[in-house]
Amino acid sequence: MDFEHSPKVRDLLARLGAFMAEHVYPNERVYSEQVACSADRWVSPPIMEEMKAKARAAGLWNLFLPNHDGGAGLNNLEYAPLCEVMGRSPIAAEVFNCSAPDTGNMEVLARYGTSEQKRRWLEPLLAGEIRSGFAMTEPQVASSDARNIASRIVRDGDDYVINGRKWWTSGAGDRRCKILIFMGLTDPEAEPFRRQSMILVPMDAPGVASVRPLTVFGYDHAPHGHLEMRFTDVRVPATNMLLGEGRGFEIAQGRLGPGRIHHCMRAIGLAERALESMVARARSRVAFGRPIAEQGMLREAIAESRMGIEQARLLTLKAAYMMDTVGNKAARAEIAMIKVVAPRMAQAVLDRAIQIHGGGGVSGDFGLAEGWALARTLRLADGPDEVHMDQIARLELAKPAELWNW
């Protein structure tokens, strides 16, 4: 594995870092204030659109997309350090049109969409003109096992009729969200992994209803949001089906592999910034007659954080390298491992940073509390820790027995 970045990546890193310093970090508070003061908190604040226009003009746009005219042509290993930089700010990914769930949805449309689906939905998503949602999780079943998904997609002539309830439909609260990728049951009698399909559902289709925004540790994440939704006799053209009936799991695997590692890349950036805040706080505070930076327990917290970040980064890079060289299926153990390791590491680093900041750490002044909530959420998003750990163990147990005969 080559740890040296290519000239292209080094150039992008320098430009991205400079853009973050000039436009993103100084506008984090402006963004929050504009959302809070808006008559409609689900409308994107003006500062976001201003930053997006500047990022696109600077050529820092759709960096996540490897094999499409609208992307930067980077593989997973090349994108990793750039995604990490974006993870340092809660608003950065959207600035560069690299935020979930749009990234996964764009990858699905680019890979599996028809020419018409790409024209109608992918092109405006790539341009940052609209946003999208992913409707998979359901409130009445354990959605960590996607075979449980019970919402129905039923063929009726030239249409499909959709009924069901979804929640944690991230992005659906945004007024710019125009399209959902919906996963549902098309054939209950088929083999377990051929029962589900994915279909495109416009947000304005009759029968699509937003029930309520869900909060994450008290944060509603407006204007993005995570909605509970109801679908009642929603009728869409049969041409909205993605790839074909029974292909939902196939699409999900293609979508979730890159999405999972993107979460991990951003989590490392989040942890890096928390560590920087921890160090700055330690240098600036005096307790019991001496700087807290000189106190042993705090030094241990800093050391543990640095070691954890470096370990997670190396595993992320290995997983990205394997995805690029041998494919997502062969890299499934590494993807599963980093999906457990990175959020846990980020949560631990943020917890230490909160402790060192004292009362300020649990306030909204430093962004640590919201960062901790995000890291904790990532231990459930795209599959809970337990599912990934079970897969890791099964793959380990399946190795040839002679490997264990010492």
Report the CATH number that the domain containing residue 26 is assigned in CATH. Answer: 1.10.540.10
102 and 156 both lie in a single domain: no
Q: Which residue in this structure is represented by tokens 């594995």?
A: 1
209 and 141 both lie in a single domain: yes
Q: Considering the domain boundaries, does residue 118 fall inside one?
A: no
Report the CATH number that the domain containing residue 176 is assigned in CATH. Answer: 2.40.110.10
Q: Considering the domain boundaries, does residue 120 fall inside one?
A: no
Domain count, the chain: 3
Q: Which long-range contacts (CB under 8 A, 24 or more apart) does 52-55 make?
A: 52/94, 52/95, 52/97, 52/128, 54/19, 54/23, 55/19, 55/23, 55/95, 55/96, 55/97
175 and 73 both lie in a single domain: no
3-state DSSP call for residue 263? helix
Average model confidence (pLDDT) for the chain?
A: 94
Q: Considering the domain boundaries, does residue 51 fall inside one?
A: yes
Position 255 scores a pLDDT of 76
Rounded Cα distance, 83 and 141, in Å: 33
**Domain end: 188, 218, 242, which one?**
242
Bridge pairing between strands 177-185 and 131-135: parallel
29 and 107 both lie in a single domain: yes
Q: Is the dihedral of CA 234, 239, 244, 250 positive or negative?
A: negative
Q: What is the pLDDT along the chain (406 residues), one digit of tens a residue?
A: 667 899 999 999 999 999 999 999 999 999 999 999 999 999 999 999 999 999 999 999 999 988 767 788 999 999 999 999 999 999 999 999 999 999 999 999 999 999 999 999 999 999 999 999 999 999 999 988 888 999 999 999 999 999 999 999 999 999 999 999 999 999 999 999 999 999 999 999 999 999 999 999 999 999 999 999 999 999 999 999 999 999 999 998 777 667 888 999 999 999 999 999 999 999 998 888 788 877 778 899 999 999 999 999 999 999 999 999 999 889 999 999 999 999 999 999 999 999 999 999 999 999 999 999 999 999 999 889 999 999 999 999 998 876 656 6
**Per-residue pLDDT reduced to its tens digit, 133-154:** 999 999 999 988 888 999 999 9
238 and 255 both lie in a single domain: no
Q: End-to-end CA distance of the chain: give it in Å, rounded.
A: 29
**Domain end: 224, 242, 260, which one?**
242
What is the residue-wise DSSP string for 267-302? HHHHHHHHHHHHHHHHHH-EETTEEGGGSHHHHHHH
Say if residue 258 is preceded by a cis peptide, omega within 30 of 0.
no
223 and 277 both lie in a single domain: no
**Domain end: 242, 268, 290, which one?**
242
Position 72 scores a pLDDT of 86
Q: Considering the domain boundaries, does residue 1 fall inside one?
A: no
109 and 136 both lie in a single domain: no
Q: Considering the domain boundaries, does residue 312 fall inside one?
A: yes
For residue 309, how far is the Cα from the chain centroid? 19
Report the CATH number that the domain containing residue 383 is assigned in CATH. Answer: 1.20.140.10
267 and 234 both lie in a single domain: no
Position 406 scores a pLDDT of 61
Q: Considering the domain boundaries, does residue 121 fall inside one?
A: no
57: containing domain: 7-113
Rounded Cα distance, 158 and 170, in Å: 29
80 and 17 both lie in a single domain: yes
Q: Considering the domain boundaries, does residue 123 fall inside one?
A: no
238 and 146 both lie in a single domain: yes
Q: Considering the domain boundaries, does residue 125 fall inside one?
A: no
263 and 387 both lie in a single domain: yes
314 and 383 both lie in a single domain: yes
Bridge pairing between strands 286-287 and 290-291: antiparallel
